[in-house]
Structure 1
C-alpha cells in the first residue's frame, strides 16, 4: 500500500531532487533507500540529525566530506586474506583521509563551543587510522602506481632496470646513428616488441646483426631484430622486471594484510561517513527549498503554514495554509476542476511523507506535522486497460482496500471522491465513505466537485468545508486554500463574464432546485463575510502598527525631555556652584582681612571667626543630597528578567558587576572584575542595561559607552581584523581601568597567537604577558597585565 501512496504523491521524484546533494556513491545509495518511518522516536531522531547538519551549514557554509569511497568490498577481501590492488588501497587511504578531515572539523566546532550533540557522538566512534593511511600513501602514488620508496628492494630493482634500459638503448641508438647502420634500417628508431628493445632492419640485412627476430611488418620488408650485442642485457632487463613484479605483489600483499587488521574500524568509518553524507545531503536539500523543521506530534495534528509543493517551481507555486486534526479531523475541499484541489491534497500528503522521512518541509517556521502509522491515498486516474476496469471501478478497488486497513492512526487522502459514476449515487457514496473513515478516528482530506457535499460539514461535528479561491474577474484560480468556506461552481458568473445573455443565465437559474440555490447563497454569504473579516483584520493590523509607532515616538520624546531637563538642571547647578565658589572666595578674603584687623583689635575672638566660616560653609547648597532625594532608589526588578550584560550590585559585598548567565531559578553567574562567582537572586540589585550598539561585528570590542569585558575572543577572525580588534580593545581596557585582560586566540596553527604576542610586547600600555593557566584556557589564551 505504501508503495502506491509514494508513487501517486510523487515521493520518488522528490528523492530525485535530493539525490544530487549527496557527495558520495554511498550517500546517494542511502538517499535511494530513504523511506518514510512510522516510529515517532525514529522520526524525531532523524529530524534532530537533519537539523544539526543544517545548523553546521548555517554557521560554516560547507563541510569537508570529500574522499569517501565505497570500500566495503575491499574490506571484505582483505579480511579473508585477499590481495588488494593499488587502486583499492588508494581508495582506502582516501576514505581514511576524508574521515580525519571531517573529524577534525567537528572537533574544532566543539572547541569553539558550538553546541552539537549527534555529530560529536558519531565522530567519537571513528578511529583516525593515521598510520595505515601514511603506510599506503608512502607506498602508492596518487595515480595508483607503487612508489620506489615502498621498499628498499624495489628501489634497487628499479635502479637495475633503469641501468639495463640505458645500456640497451645506448647500444641500439649507436647503431641507428652510424652511417652503415642507417643504410640497413627501415627507420632510425629504437622500438619495443615482446617487452624487448629492437630495431627495424631491412629484410635483406637480416643476418648482419645476428640476434633474434621478434616481429616483421605486414609487407615482410622490415624485420624487428634484437641484435646479438644487446640480447644479454635485454635478458637481464627482463629478469629485473620479473623481480619488480614479484616485489610489487609482495608490497601489495603486505599492505592488504595491514588493512585486514583494521577491517572493523574501516567498516565503522564507512558507516559513519555515509551517515554524515546523508545528514548533510538532507540539510542542503532543506536549504535549497527553504524548508524548516516542523514540530512533530502523534495525535494527527497538521498545521502547515505557507506550504509549498517542492516539485513546483518557485515562480509558479502559491503557498497554502493547511490545517487538520485540531478542531476538525475531516477536511472536504470543494470547487471546480483546475482550481488547485489536487495540488493541495498532494502538497499535504507529500510533506507528511517528507516529515516522516526526517526531512524538513517547505513551510514557514512554526509549522506542525504528524507522524501517522498508516497513510492512504486515492489520487489520479488509475484505470487499468489490462484488467478492463473503468475509472470508477479502479478507484473503488483502491478505496475498498483502504476501508479494510484504515484506523484511528491513519491519514487518508481522497481525490474527487465518488467521481466516474452517476452524480447522485456518487455523492451519496462519497458521504457514506467519509462517514465511515471519520468514525474510525482517522484524519481525512477529500476533494470533490459534488454540490451535495458542500453542506456535508454543516451536519457533522469535526468536519469542515474548504475551497480553493477562484477570481471571477480574471477567470483564473488563485490557488489559495480557504478553510471553512465551501467552493462555488461559479458557472453562471463565468458565463456572464464571457458574454452569455442575461435571459439565458436567468432561465438556467430557474432550473436549479431551491435547496441548491440556498446552498449557493449561503456560500456567497460566507465568502462575503470572510472577505469583510479579512479587510477588518488588515485594518486592525494597520491601526495596531500606527499605535505602536505613536507609542514609540512618545516614548522617545519623553526620553529627550528627561535628558533636556537633566541637562538644564545640571547647567543651573554648575552656574550656582560657580557663584557659591565666588562668594566663598570673597568670604575667605574678608576673613583674612578680619584676621589682619584682629591683630590690631583684640576684641575680635578666634572662635567667632571660625564660627563665621562654618556658617558660610553650611550655607553652601548640597546638590548631591538634592539629587539623592530627587531620584528614588531604583526598584529591584523581577530576577527572572535579568539578562546577560546587565549591570548589578552584589549587596552583601557592596560590589558592582555584570550578569554573565542565569545558572538556575535561584542563582546567576556574575562577573566581578577578574572574578566570576555565583550569586543568589535576593543578593542582586539591578543597576542598568547596556544599550545595543548597531552595525558592529560581534567579534569586535564595542564603544566606550558599552560595557568593556575583561576578555576579547578572536576565534574565527581574520588575522588583520584580529590585530585591529586587539589594538582598540587595549585602549578601551586601559580607559576602563583594568589591570589585567585575557586575549582568547585559540590554539589552531599558532599564527594568531604569535601575532597577538608580538603586538602585546610592543604595546606601550602592556607591562607583562603570559599564556593562560589550565583553568584559564591554556595556550589558547594570552593574559596581559596593563600599566
Structure 2
C-alpha cells in the first residue's frame, strides 16, 4: 500500500485510536504492523473475524484478558537454556492461566448452537495451557515475584538459619548500643556492605575492636562491626549465600521445565495476540457505532451517511458517496472550506479501514470496493528542502502515481492542477484525469476549475458532485450533493456582504453568456433537488409509520389467534380458583364469628372487620356459585356535607359525614369508629332523625391515660392489658398513645410489636425518640 497515501489520509491516527482498545502489549504489537490488505478474500476474512468479536462483546460485554502479558522473550530465552527470573516465571504462570480462561470462554460460547464462531474457535482450538507447570511455578513463587520458603526443603531450612543468625546479631548489637551510651553518635543499628554495624565516635574507636566498614563525611563517626559479632555476621553471610544458590537452583529447574513447553506456549501467545487484536477492532467499532460493509473488487462504492472517524462525532456531518455500476470518477466542486477535502479524505480513509478489517462509521447496507493500491495527492505539499513549489511538488507526486496506477487502484486528487495558470491548470487536469481514467482506476477529484464541471457531462462514467453552501448564512453545510456541479456563489455572497449592486451587475457583464446560463441551470437543479429530498423524506416517514402500524396490528392479530384457546382455559382455571378461595374465606370468617360467640362477646371493630371480609368474599360469587362478571361501576355520589346520613357500602354499616377531606374523600363516623372513605364507597340514605356530628366520645373512659406502663408485668397479662387498653384509648378519642415496656430482655417489646403488626386499627408504630423514652417505649398511632 502506498505510504504517501497512508500519511496523507492519517491512517496512523486510526491505528493510535485502535491501540486504546487493546488489553495487552500483545494486541498493540499487532496494530503496530497493521496495514490494509489488497485482495478481496483476505479482507473478507478480516471483516468476518471482527464481526465475530463484535458478536461476543454484544453477548458477554467483556473478554477475560486479565493477567496476560507478552512472555515471548522469556520463552525464547528458556529454549536456549537461559535462567528466567522469578518475576518472569510468575508472569508466565499468569499467562498460562489466561490461555486456559480464554479457551474455555470461547468454547462455552460455542455450546450455543445458534451462535457460530468459526474463526475464533479455530484460533483457540490448538492452544494448550500446561497446568502442571503453572502449579509448580505458583507453589514456588508468590504473586509479587518472590521465591517462597515452600519452594524446597533446603530453602526452608536455610531461611530458618538466616532468621536465627539475624536475631542473634541484632540482640548482641542492641545490648552493645544500650551499654555504650556516649561512645555512639546515634543509638541505632545500620547496614554497611551487607553487614550490621553501629555508628561509633572517632575517639572511642579502640573501645570496640572489630572491623571498620565506613565513616561519615566529616570523619567524626566510624561504622564499626564489633569483634563480638563478626563470627555471627560471617555465619549470616554464609547462610545468605546458600539462600542465593538455592534460589538460583530452583529458578533454573523451573526454567528448564518451561523450555519443554516453550514452542506450544509461543504459539498460544501469538494466538492471544490475534485475539486481543480482534476484540480491539470490535470494541473500536462499537465506540464509533460502525457497521460491517459489503465488499466487492469492481470499484463500486456506496457509502451511506459516512462519517470521518477523526472528526468529533458531535460536529461531523454525514455524507453519501455513491458510485453506480457505470461510474468510476467523481468530480467535486464548490467553495473553499466547504468540505470538499473532507469528503475526499473520508472516502479514502474508510477504504483503508475496511481493507484493514475494521468496521466503518456508515449506515447498514453500505458497500465499498477492495483496492489493490490507494494513491492520494492531498493538501499543500510545498517542499522547501527540495526547492519545489506547491505545483512542482504535486506534479512530482502525480508522476509517481501514473507509474503504478491500474484498474484496481483508488486515486484521490485534491485541487488537481492548482498552483499554476488557471487555463493551463484546467487543461492539464483534464489530461491527467483522462490518463488515470483510461487505465480503469476509480477516481475522486476536487477542483475549483469550472472547465471540469463540463468534464462529467462530456464523458461516460464520470459524475459531478458539489458541497452545499448556504447563501443566507454565508456558511457551508458540509453536505455532499451528488449529480450537481458546484457554484462559486461569489455574486450572492458579495451582495449579502454589502457590495453595491452596480458593481455586481458590472461583474456579471464580464462573464460569458454560457457561464451565466450554466449557473442558472445549477441553481435550478439545486432547488429541484432540495424539494425532491423533502418529498422523499416525507414519503419515507409516512411509509415507515404505516409499516410500523401494520406490523403491530398483524402481531396482535396473530397473537390473539394463537393464544385464544389458552386464554379461555386460563380464565376458566382462574375462575375456579377464585370460587374456591372465596368459599374458603367465607368459611374462615364464619368460624371466626362462631369463635367470638363462644367467648361471650364480640367487639365492635372485630364485627366490622368480619363483615367486611365476608362481604368481599361473597361479592365474588353469584347465586349459582360462579364468579360474578365484572360490571361497569355506577357513578360515585357527590355533594355530601357534614351530618349527612350515609351507608359505607363495603362495610354494610350506616354512619354520617363528619367532614369533607377533599373532592373524592370524606371523614365518616360509623359507631365508635372514624374512617376516611372515598365517595364511590358511600351511599346516601334516608334521614330518619337528624344526628349532630360527634366530635369526640367520652364516657367512663375519660380516666384513660395516654400511656400504658407494662413494666413488671408477666408476658401473658401484659398482652391482655395492651389489647384492652387499645380499645379504651380508641373510645377515648386518642390518635396516639405510648406503651411503656422498658428495655430489659426485650420480650415485652417483641410481644407488643407482634400485636401491633396484626391489629386492624393500628396505623403505625415506632420506638420512642430521644425525650420520649427511647427503646423502652413504643409509640402507636391509630387509623
The TM-score normalised by the length of structure 1 is 0.68
Q: Tell me, what secondary structure is at the counterpart of 2:494? A: helix
Stretches of structure 1 that go unaligned for 5 or more consecutive residues are 567-787
- 1:326, 1:440 → 2: CA distance? 17
Residue 206 to residue 368, structure 1, CA distance change in 2 (3 Å): same
- 2:432, 2:15 → 1: CA distance? 33
Is structure 2 residue 339 aligned with structure 1 residue 336? Answer: no
- 2:394, 2:138 → 1: CA distance? 62
- Within 5 A, what are the aligned runs for 1:619-630? none
1:14 matched to which residue of 2?
14
Residue 323 to residue 557, structure 1, CA distance change in 2 (3 Å): closer
CA deviations on 1:504-536 (whole Å, 9 max, x unpaired) are: 222211111122122112212211221232233
- 1:393, 1:228 → 2: CA distance? 86
- 2:559, 2:225 → 1: CA distance? 105
2:616 matched to which residue of 1?
none
- Within 5 A, what are the aligned runs for 1:180-195? 181-195=180-194
Is structure 2 residue 38 aligned with structure 1 residue 38? Answer: yes
Residue 223 to residue 557, structure 1, CA distance change in 2 (3 Å): closer
Residue 229 to residue 487, structure 1, CA distance change in 2 (3 Å): same
Shift of 1:123: 1.4
Residue 473 to residue 192, structure 1, CA distance change in 2 (3 Å): same
CA deviations on 1:475-527 (whole Å, 9 max, x unpaired) are: 11111111111111111111122222222222211111122122112212211
Is structure 2 residue 459 aligned with structure 1 residue 460? Answer: yes
Aligned residues: 563
Shift of 1:244: 0.8
1:148 matched to which residue of 2?
149
Q: Tell me, what secondary structure is at the counterpart of 1:466? A: strand
Q: Tell me, what secondary structure is at the counterpart of 1:53? A: helix
CA deviations on 1:629-683 (whole Å, 9 max, x unpaired) are: xxxxxxxxxxxxxxxxxxxxxxxxxxxxxxxxxxxxxxxxxxxxxxxxxxxxxxx
Q: Is the 8 A contact 1:122 1:272 kept in 2?
A: yes
- 1:157, 1:189 → 2: CA distance? 27
Shift of 1:160: 0.5
- Within 5 A, what are the aligned runs for 1:115-134? 115-134=116-135
Q: Is the 8 A contact 1:472 1:493 kept in 2?
A: yes
- 1:550, 1:267 → 2: CA distance? 58
Shift of 1:369: 1.3
Shift of 1:265: 1.3
The structure number with the bigger radius of gyration is 2
2:358 matched to which residue of 1?
359
1:409 matched to which residue of 2?
408
Q: Tell me, what secondary structure is at the counterpart of 2:20? A: helix
Q: Is the 8 A contact 1:149 1:155 kept in 2?
A: yes
Q: Is the 8 A contact 1:96 1:269 kept in 2?
A: no
Q: Is the 8 A contact 2:212 2:224 kept in 1?
A: yes
Tell me whether 349-358 or 54-63 shows the greater mean CA deviation. 54-63
Is structure 2 residue 67 aligned with structure 1 residue 67? Answer: yes
Q: Is the 8 A contact 2:43 2:357 kept in 1?
A: yes
- 1:333, 1:153 → 2: CA distance? 80
- 1:382, 1:555 → 2: CA distance? 62
2:632 matched to which residue of 1?
none
Q: Is the 8 A contact 1:455 1:519 kept in 2?
A: no
Is structure 2 residue 265 aligned with structure 1 residue 266? Answer: yes
Is structure 2 residue 420 aligned with structure 1 residue 421? Answer: yes
Q: Is the 8 A contact 1:77 1:83 kept in 2?
A: yes
Q: Which runs of 4+ in 1 moved over 6 A?
A: 549-563
Q: Is the 8 A contact 1:324 1:443 kept in 2?
A: no
Root-mean-square deviation (CA, aligned residues, Å) is 2.5
Q: Tell me, what secondary structure is at the counterpart of 1:21? A: coil
Q: Is the 8 A contact 2:129 2:265 kept in 1?
A: no
Residue 541 to residue 122, structure 1, CA distance change in 2 (3 Å): closer
Q: Is the 8 A contact 1:302 1:322 kept in 2?
A: yes
CA deviations on 1:47-93 (whole Å, 9 max, x unpaired) are: 11111111111111111112222222212221111112222222222
- Within 5 A, what are the aligned runs for 1:107-122? 107-113=107-113, 114-122=115-123
Shift of 1:35: 0.7
CA deviations on 1:740-777 (whole Å, 9 max, x unpaired) are: xxxxxxxxxxxxxxxxxxxxxxxxxxxxxxxxxxxxxx
Residue 8 to residue 165, structure 1, CA distance change in 2 (3 Å): same
1:587 matched to which residue of 2?
none
CA deviations on 1:127-173 (whole Å, 9 max, x unpaired) are: 11111122112212222221111111010000001011111211221
Q: Is the 8 A contact 1:391 1:420 kept in 2?
A: yes
Q: Tell me, what secondary structure is at the counterpart of 2:338? A: coil
Residue 562 to residue 357, structure 1, CA distance change in 2 (3 Å): closer
- 1:546, 1:287 → 2: CA distance? 28
Residue 510 to residue 123, structure 1, CA distance change in 2 (3 Å): same
Q: Is the 8 A contact 1:300 1:325 kept in 2?
A: no
- Within 5 A, what are the aligned runs for 1:146-185? 146-178=147-179, 181-185=180-184
- 1:65, 1:375 → 2: CA distance? 35
Shift of 1:545: 5.3
- 1:429, 1:225 → 2: CA distance? 90
Residue 429 to residue 193, structure 1, CA distance change in 2 (3 Å): closer
Residue 536 to residue 190, structure 1, CA distance change in 2 (3 Å): closer
Tell me whether 548-557 or 464-473 shows the greater mean CA deviation. 548-557
Residue 300 to residue 167, structure 1, CA distance change in 2 (3 Å): same
2:290 matched to which residue of 1?
291
- 1:489, 1:217 → 2: CA distance? 84
- 1:195, 1:147 → 2: CA distance? 22
2:537 matched to which residue of 1?
538
Shift of 1:354: 0.5
Tell me whether 541-550 or 88-97 shows the greater mean CA deviation. 541-550
1:87 matched to which residue of 2?
87
CA deviations on 1:81-111 (whole Å, 9 max, x unpaired) are: 1112222222222221222222222222223
- 2:35, 2:138 → 1: CA distance? 39
Q: Tell me, what secondary structure is at the counterpart of 2:48? A: helix
The TM-score normalised by the length of structure 2 is 0.69
1:492 matched to which residue of 2?
491
- 1:550, 1:277 → 2: CA distance? 44
Q: Tell me, what secondary structure is at the counterpart of 1:89? A: helix
CA deviations on 1:302-349 (whole Å, 9 max, x unpaired) are: 111110111110122100010125231111111111111110000000
Shift of 1:552: 7.8
2:398 matched to which residue of 1?
399
1:318 matched to which residue of 2?
317
- 1:168, 1:328 → 2: CA distance? 91
